[in-house]
């Protein structure tokens, strides 16, 4: 995901924009922020910078000129590392020109590579990820704008997928205390937030004492107000009956599930160390559509993992055609140093992995072309997230398309949107009574 850079007058209008940048003043001092990577990483920087505001920092209009710049990084895969390195070098270059006084690098990259600071002359501080919960001071700063917010409920990851370095970067799974989550959620809703997007490496595993995720979600349900609750990432082997009951009965639940399959062929899933998910992965789409009428399903597929022969790739494509996910993403496998997958034999070439990635995305476009046309002429409830831009329940922030609206609608307002036509992965709609 590209680096995010917003100016002060764009902060509250953030919709689908992919670049955010921030700069804060304190007296004659300023601090600029660059956020890279996933929503969970952005939340860390959001809390940190929001707390700085409460200590007297103020937003500036020039993120490329400050006394201090903080580059909050990702290092999940090779492309993320390359992006982080480019942004660090960019900050150092701006420091040489006199634009910045100090350069601070934080987040996953220095956490994963604690000894690499000297490789970037000009970097003043090299900080990893927070090891303890940092409580946001209320009302909290939101990079996402007024309408929606990411609500982080846990840190770390308990899984040991063979391809993934996140457990080594983020550490063991730690659930955020219920009291802390509810405190932030109440403040968000009171400030006009109309969609709480629940994020963690694996939200399904949240727990506190005898409480589990459905108990947390029901506690959120008791907050007064008209708002959506969207749970992002639902591992197929961990979707409980109680969670599905909540989704069916909650007035706030968005019927949307992001189920990260990664693959569908048992032999490849076993090599990925996702053996527990084999049966659930193969049945996920059919089962969820049977249980949750009208549910929108998204998944992401990895191509080119060791053991993925051409025949197994074709099997996966056939599975994806059968499952007909509403939203389908793909990425080519990148072997990560220190992971079990990097040591496995039988890995397809990078060119083959990229070609297969393209085939999956071609299939995604073909499925979308058919499924999206079925929505034309129908009316759906939508949340206005930016002037002229809304999202329906079927559209998660950042990863899915949006609905471009004509007609009067305020940011943070729910409207009825009639779909007029499809444009790429977006919809064109109009506000109706």
Name the CATH superfamily housing domain 148-373: tm_1862 like domain (3.80.30.20)
Other beta carbons within 10 Å of 27:
8
Mean pLDDT of 290-311: 96
Q: How far apart are CA 254 and CA 231, in angstroms?
A: 8
Residue 348: band (very low, low, confident or very high) from pLDDT cuts 50, 70, 90: very high
Q: Where are the beta strands (DSSP E) in 219-321?
A: 228-231, 256-258, 296-303
Residue labelled with tokens 């004492």: 209
- CATH 2.40.50.140 given to domain 379-432: yes
What is the per-residue pLDDT for 141? 72
- Contact present, 32 and 64 (Cβ < 8 Å): yes
**What is the chain's alpha carbon radius of gyration, rounded to the nearest angstrom?**
22
Domain boundaries, the chain: 8-126, 148-373, 379-432
Counted residue by residue, the chain has a size of 433
Percentage of the chain exceeding pLDDT 90: 68
Architecture of domain 8-126: 3-Layer(aba) Sandwich (3.40)
- The model's pLDDT over 87-129, given as tens digits with 9 standing for 90+, comes to 999 999 999 999 999 899 999 999 999 999 999 999 999 998 8
* Least-confidence region, from 86-95, 275-284, 308-317: 275-284
List pLDDT tens digits, range 365-403.
999 999 999 999 999 999 999 999 999 999 999 999 999
Return the pLDDT at 139.
65
Q: How far apart are CA 214 and CA 208, in angstroms?
A: 12
- Supply the pLDDT for residue 285: 87
pLDDT at 65 over 90: no
Return all residues near 306 (Cβ < 8 A) that are at least 6 apart: 271, 341, 344, 345, 346, 347
Virtual torsion, Cα 336, 338, 341, 345, nearest 10 deg: 100
Q: Give the pLDDT mean for 350-374.
A: 96
Strand partners, 428: 404, 421
Give yes or no for residue 12 having a pLDDT over 70. Answer: no
Rounded to 10 degrees, what is the CA torsion of 422, 231, 320, 240? -150
Where would I find the H helices in 113-194? 166-170, 178-190
pLDDT of residue 129: 87
**pLDDT at position 27 over 80:** no
pLDDT value of position 274:
87
- With bands split at pLDDT 50, 70 and 90, how would you rate the model's confidence at 66? confident
Tell me what the pLDDT averaged over the chain comes to: 88
User: For 169-212, what is each residue's pLDDT tens digit?
Assistant: 888 999 999 999 999 999 999 999 999 999 999 999 999 999 99
Q: 114 — phi, psi (to 5°)?
A: -65, -20
Percentage of the chain surpassing pLDDT 70?
91
């Amino acid at each position: 995901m590209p680096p995010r850079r917003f100016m002060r007058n764009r902060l509250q209008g953030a919709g689908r924009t992919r670049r955010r940048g921030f700069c804060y003043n304190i007296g004659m001092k300023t601090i600029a922020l660059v956020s890279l990577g996933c929503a969970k990483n952005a939340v860390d920087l959001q809390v940190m910078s929001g707390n700085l505001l409460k200590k007297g920092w103020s937003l500036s209009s020039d993120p490329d000129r400050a006394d201090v710049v903080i580059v909050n990084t990702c290092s999940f895969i090779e492309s993320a590392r390359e992006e982080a390195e480019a942004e660090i070098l960019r900050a150092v270059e701006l420091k040489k020109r006199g634009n910045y006084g100090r350069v601070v690098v934080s987040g996953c990259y220095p956490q994963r590579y604690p000894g690499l600071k000297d490789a970037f002359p000009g970097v003043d501080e090299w900080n990893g990820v927070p090891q303890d919960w940092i409580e946001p001071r209320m009302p909290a700063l939101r990079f996402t704008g007024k309408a929606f917010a990411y609500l982080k409920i846990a840190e770390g990851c308990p899984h040991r997928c063979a391809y993934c370095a996140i457990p080594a970067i983020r550490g063991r799974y730690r659930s955020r205390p219920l009291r802390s989550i509810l405190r932030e959620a109440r403040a968000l809703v009171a400030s006009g937030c109309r969609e709480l997007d629940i994020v963690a490496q694996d939200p399904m595993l949240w727990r506190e004492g005898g409480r589990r995720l459905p108990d947390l979600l029901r506690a959120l349900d008791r907050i007064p107000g008209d708002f959506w609750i969207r749970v992002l990432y639902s591992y197929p082997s961990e979707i409980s009956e109680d969670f599905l009951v909540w989704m069916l009965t909650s007035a706030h639940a968005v019927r949307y599930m992001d189920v990260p399959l990664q693959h569908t062929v048992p032999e490849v899933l076993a090599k990925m160390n996702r053996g527990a998910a084999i049966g659930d992965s193969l049945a996920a789409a059919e089962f969820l559509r049977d249980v949750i009428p009208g549910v929108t399903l998204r998944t992401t597929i990895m191509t080119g993992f060791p053991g993925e022969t051409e025949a197994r790739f074709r099997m996966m494509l056939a599975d994806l055609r059968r499952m007909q996910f509403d939203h389908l993403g793909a990425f080519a496998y990148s072997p990560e140093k220190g992971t079990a997958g990097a040591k496995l034999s039988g890995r397809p070439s990078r060119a083959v992995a990229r070609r297969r990635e393209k085939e999956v995305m071609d299939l995604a476009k073909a499925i979308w072309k058919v499924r999206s046309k079925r929505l034309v002429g129908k009316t759906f409830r939508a949340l206005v997230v930016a002037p002229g831009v809304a999202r329906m329940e079927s559209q998660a922030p950042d990863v899915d398309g949006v609905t471009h609206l004509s007609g009067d609608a305020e940011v943070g307002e729910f409207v009825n949107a009639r779909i007029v036509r499809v444009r790429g992965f977006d919809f064109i709609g109009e506000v109706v009574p």
